[in-house]
Amino acid sequence: MEGPTKRFGNKPQIAFFDFACCEGCQLSVLQLEERLLDILELVDVVTWREAMSEYSNDYDIAFCEGSITREQDIERVREIREQAAILVTLGSCASGGCHNDLKNQWEMDEMLALVYGDQAEHFDTIPSRPITAVVEVDYKIYGCPVSLAEFVTVVKRILTGQSYEPPNQPVCVECKLNDHLCVLEKGEVCLGPVTRGGCDAICTGFGDACQGCRGLMDAANVGAMLKALTREQAHAIVRKVVERYGFTQDDIETKLRIYNNWPELNLEEIAANDD
Ligand code: SF4
Ligand code: SF4
Ligand code: SF4
């Protein structure tokens, strides 16, 4: 499938920008090392605060990391959108929501006071949201941090004028294809059944539960997962596991909230609708 129309020459100018985040996705890209050198033969990087001192507002492709958490962020990302022929969201903070959105459970004044104490009046904040909620984007890369293999794939697609659809199968699929032991059997709440795959189930490969860092996949059936893990249901093995470890809706909600607070997660409503 053809991607967004290219408006740049043979060697496009690339810029990296960060909004509210840990900047771990940019750091991951730097870890591409030799492969980064290959990419640099095809593009000119003109702005990348984490990696270089030079700066230019003349760029074709913008990689934007982080969440929008202040009014001035909205203005800034709109300016980037206006300049860039291609805008790519880098990581879950920018693509779908992430830790930053946890603050949306509180009133903003309360949050400012908690963080800045008696200096709160000098700062402003708005409910956190991904960049995708503010401007149209051409490519999305999920993950906290991004998968480097996926980053390279997206760069290739952009440079060859092709579109890219983020994976939309649950992590469980990749977990089973890799023959990983299901961590539910160890009594750990795993969000693999509802989380967007594309990471090759790296966490369950190390025996850890999926924390949901790539966000909910499209049309994730959270209600069915709640039912399967917290209530009487048909699958005898899972029922035995649930009886033994006693997962609660609160356990699952606490975990889901880490990466899925945009738009607001309402587990009460989801559970009620699934009765
Ligand atoms: S997605 Fe995760 S690793 Fe990437 S910038 Fe946001 S918090 Fe950091
Ligand atoms: S460990 Fe998690 S991702 Fe893997 S099969 Fe079990 S629930 Fe799914
Ligand atoms: S297994 Fe889950 S938490 Fe781990 S990288 Fe994949 S989506 Fe993120």
pLDDT in tens, 226-264: 888 877 665 677 777 777 877 888 888 899 999 998 888
Instruction: Judge if 79 and 41 occupy the same domain.
Output: yes
Domain extent, residue 244, equals 171-273
| Ligand 3 atom at minimal distance to the Cα of residue 210 | 2
Q: Ligand 1 center to residue 36 CA distance, Å?
A: 20
Give the Cα separation of 67 and 205 in Å (integer): 29
What are the strands, taking DSSP E only, across 179-271?
none
| Ligand 2 atom at minimal distance to the Cα of residue 180 | 4
Q: What is the pTM of this model?
A: 0.93
Instruction: Judge if 178 and 255 occupy the same domain.
Output: yes
Q: What angle do CA 127, 105, 225 make, to 5 degrees?
A: 115
Calculate the CA 262 to chain-centre distance.
11
Residues β-bridged to residue 47: 15
Instruction: Judge if 128 and 67 occupy the same domain.
Output: yes
Burial of 193 (0-12, 13-18, 19+ CB in 10 A): buried
Of 146, 18, 6, 154, the residue nearest 77 (C-alpha): 18
> Which residue is closest in CA terms to ligand 1's atom 2?
144
Among residues 109, 139, 159, the one where a domain terminates is 159
Q: Ligand 1 center to residue 94 CA distance, Å?
A: 8
- Provide the total of helices (H) and of strands (E) in the chain, helices listed first: 12, 7
Q: Who has greater pLDDT, 105 or 275?
A: 105
What's the pLDDT band for 274 if we cut at 50, 70, 90?
low
**What's the total number of domains in the chain?**
2
Read off the tokens for 157: 């697609």
Q: What is the pLDDT of residue 196?
A: 98
Instruction: Judge if 23 and 150 occupy the same domain.
Output: yes
Instruction: Judge if 185 and 218 occupy the same domain.
Output: yes
Instruction: Judge if 150 and 176 occupy the same domain.
Output: no
68, 126, 136 from 20: Cα distances, Å: 7, 12, 18
Q: What is the pLDDT of residue 273?
A: 75
**Does pLDDT of 82 surpass 80?**
yes
Give the Cα separation of 189 and 209 in Å (integer): 7
Of 29-33, 91-95, 197-201, 269-273, where does mean pLDDT reach its minimum?
Answer: 269-273
- For 84, other C-beta atoms within 10 Å of its C-beta total 24
**Does pLDDT of 131 surpass 60?**
yes
Q: What is the pLDDT of residue 28?
A: 96
Q: Ligand 2 center to residue 199 CA distance, Å?
A: 13
What are the strands, taking DSSP E only, across 51-168?
61-65, 67-68, 86-90, 129-130, 139-141
Q: Is residue 165 part of a domain?
A: no
What's the pLDDT band for 71 if we cut at 50, 70, 90?
very high
Q: Is residue 6 part of a domain?
A: no
Alpha-carbon dihedral 25, 28, 30, 35, rounded to 10 degrees: -120
Amino acid at position 117, single letter: G
What's the pLDDT band for 20 if we cut at 50, 70, 90?
very high
Q: Who has greater pLDDT, 120 or 249?
A: 120
The whole-chain average pLDDT of the chain stands at 92
Nearest ligand for residue 207 CA: 2
What average pLDDT does the segment 1-13 reach?
Answer: 71
Q: What share of the chain is helix, strand, coil (3-state, %, to 5)?
A: 45, 15, 45
**Does pLDDT of 32 surpass 80?**
yes
Q: Is residue 255 part of a domain?
A: yes
Q: Ligand 2 center to residue 152 CA distance, Å?
A: 26
